[in-house]
Amino acid sequence: MTGHPVGMLDSGLGGISVLAQALRDLPRENYVYFGDTAHIPYGDKEPQEVLRLTRQGVDKLIAHGCKAIVIACNTATSVAAQQLREELSLPIIGIEPALKPAALLPGEGQILVLATQVTLKLPKFQALMERYGDHAVPVPCSGLMECVEDGQLEGERVHTLLSELLSPYLNQPIKAVVLGCTHYPFLRNAIAAFLPAGTPLVDGNAGTVRQLGRRLEEEGLEAPPEQEGGQVTFLSSCEDPQTIARMQTMLQTAMNEL
């Protein structure tokens, strides 16, 4: 199993930001990435539907021989990760809004947590708020993920939407902004343009990949030393052949710019 790939899944293209982090930090591993682009977005679906779709995606990755699964989607993690850990024997690694590391940063002011409506409503995030949310402000970001899926990482559409989402909070000090959806790191520059220079933008990608590395080591599943690694296979539930090409382009963007 050590030579088998790691599986990653997301509702679409956002999890490619996590994939890029994994390629940098765990370069000897190979990866299979599944984007459930036929059913995007997950953020406005009922939890039972998100669980069903996530389970389907995990089954597809297991069929491709994956030795561990990263649920590179905050909504799917919140809904499905624990359930899948109880059902399966292989490591299941999730991601969550990086509220804890943001709260531990020095400084004063609000912590804006940008995420989907479903992520912000579910118990997993509510537990984070109870522990680290003294100065946190949840900001549901309807429409932001769709900009990334459409390849619009800047421009009028993105600027207008971010202005609507962020303007109510810009009249008070901001300590940090949590990018609580794996799509949002692709909008890092656009978001930063609304904030005072140097405002930290925190995502959960690095922490998720560290946890992946720990779990692979614990289970004796690390890639063998002689494996070159870095190979990526893209899969999609959408039959449009352009989708795979877009995934490859987004990976290059993530590797070069994030």
Dihedral angle over CA of 50, 70, 203, 234, nearest 10: -90
User: CA gyration radius for the chain?
Assistant: 18
Q: Which residues contact 71 (CB under 8 A, 6 or more apart)?
A: 9, 10, 54, 58, 77, 80, 81, 84, 92, 93, 94, 95
Q: How far, in Å, CA of 258 to CA of 252, rounded?
A: 10
Instruction: Give catalytic status of residue 181 as yes or no.
Output: yes
Catalytic, 141? Answer: no
Q: Which of 2, 59, 65, 54 minimizes the C-alpha distance to 32? A: 65
Give me the catalytic one of 73, 141, 147, 238: 73
**Catalytic residue chosen out of the listed positions 66, 141, 147, 181:** 181
Exposed/middle/buried for 160, CB within 10 Å: 0-12, 13-18, 19+? exposed
Residues 6 or more apart from 212 whose CB is under 8 A from it?
6, 22, 26, 68, 70, 91, 93
- The residues annotated with a catalytic role in the active site are 73, 181
